[in-house]
Amino acid sequence: MTARPRYVYLGPSGTFTEAALLAMTVGSEIEAIAVVDVPAALSAVRAGEADHAAVAIENTVEGGVTATLDSLAEGAPLVIQGEVVLPVEFELVAREPISLDAIERITAHSHAWAQVRRWAHATVPQAVFVPASSNAAGALAVAASEPVGGIPVDAALAPPGTAERLGLHKVLEHVADNPHAATRFVRIGRPGEVPAPTGSDKTTLTVHLPTDRSGALLEMLEQFAARGVNLSRIESRPRWDHPGEYSFSIDALGHIAEERIADALMGLYRTCPLVVFQGSYPAAGAASADVQGHMTDQAFADARAWVAHLRNGHHSA
């Protein structure tokens, strides 16, 4: 019998999402369960079959963004409880040692291939791409010497660690077109205790606007600007069921326990048709929220005290 938290992730074993899950839970005993897609992962958490899900949310090699954002916004509420950012890079793995110019066919998920095309053109120009249903499936086919979609393959591109895990030969590592490319993964859970603020946090929101007027967007953003809150991500999604209306997915730098975030949330709540709070959690990296002096909790407390003083008929010194 176990009290280990149960995590679901986009499988099979060997995906980038699994690597992110390991990074999120370093030093903890967990139970990891692979599922077939992001909606399945979130459903498992909603249903109580899992405690948490690890899913990609931004600029991904595995196509998770749209699916994750859509799935988060629909159904019973879920919140983000943490994030990790992993570089986008691959291993080139084969069953036996093989020289680069002997490789005729390489398998991988099509998204992975899109991320290494310049490398492929320069390094293995003769190689033909054979799409696999996932990077992990491609690597398993190589390990089993099985064809992919009926076509024999010589090598696979897969996440770091795959060669060691499957007992394959690592032909090349650090394969990537863009050394700065990265994917952001988040830990999802059911609403409950909000993680304590760390001084470097993010708050994720979904906000609806009633119109496509740029003025409406300006007014929504003024709710952040008037409190000195910066945004690290904003994406509009058309509301297909309400033509001309938009849903915005936003990451704001700061924590709901901070006055400036709470104040901005209150402003949005009053002025927008819908605001969904999707969590405050520690930001990956050391990026501080860079709070200006007049936006600190102390500044808010001072301002509140000043107005209370005035309301009682007193005057500021």
Of 134-163, which residues contact its own copies (CB under 8 A)?
A: 134, 137, 146, 148-150
Give the span between the Cα atoms of 253 and 231, in whole angstroms.
6
Of the candidates 37, 54, 173, 207, which one interacts with its own copies according to CB under 8 A?
A: 37
Shortest Å distance, C-beta 222 to its own copies = 5
Which 153-212 positions form the footprint of its own copies (CB under 8 A)? 178, 180-182, 191-194, 212
Give the span between the Cα atoms of 137 and 148, in whole angstroms.
9
Of the candidates 30, 104, 105, 131, which one interacts with its own copies according to CB under 8 A?
A: 131
Give the span between the Cα atoms of 21 and 7, in whole angstroms.
8
- Rule CB under 8 A: say whether 219 interacts with its own copies: yes
SS3 76: coil
Question: Helices (H), strands (E): how many in the chain?
Answer: 10, 14
- Rule CB under 8 A: say whether 4 interacts with its own copies: no
Contact 94, 169 (CB under 8 A): yes
- Rule CB under 8 A: say whether 245 interacts with its own copies: no
- Rule CB under 8 A: say whether 235 interacts with its own copies: yes
Question: How many residues lie near its own copies (CB under 8 A)?
Answer: 98
Contact 103, 154 (CB under 8 A): yes
Piece of the chain touching its own copies by CB under 8 A; list 24-32, 89-97, 168-176, 300-308:
300-308
Shortest Å distance, C-beta 83 to its own copies = 13
Piece of the chain touching its own copies by CB under 8 A; list 15-23, 64-72, 152-160, 164-172:
64-72
- Neighbouring C-beta atoms of residue 293, cutoff 10 Å: 8
Shortest Å distance, C-beta 185 to its own copies = 14
Which 5-34 positions form the footprint of its own copies (CB under 8 A)? none
Contact 95, 143 (CB under 8 A): yes
Of the candidates 100, 176, 256, 297, which one interacts with its own copies according to CB under 8 A?
A: 256
From residue 259 to residue 298, the character string flagging contacts with its own copies as x (rule: CB under 8 A) and all else as - is ---x--xxx-xxx----xx---------x------xx---
Among 248, 194, 247, CA closest to 80: 194
Residue with tokens 């990609």: 56
SS3 93: strand
SS3 266: helix
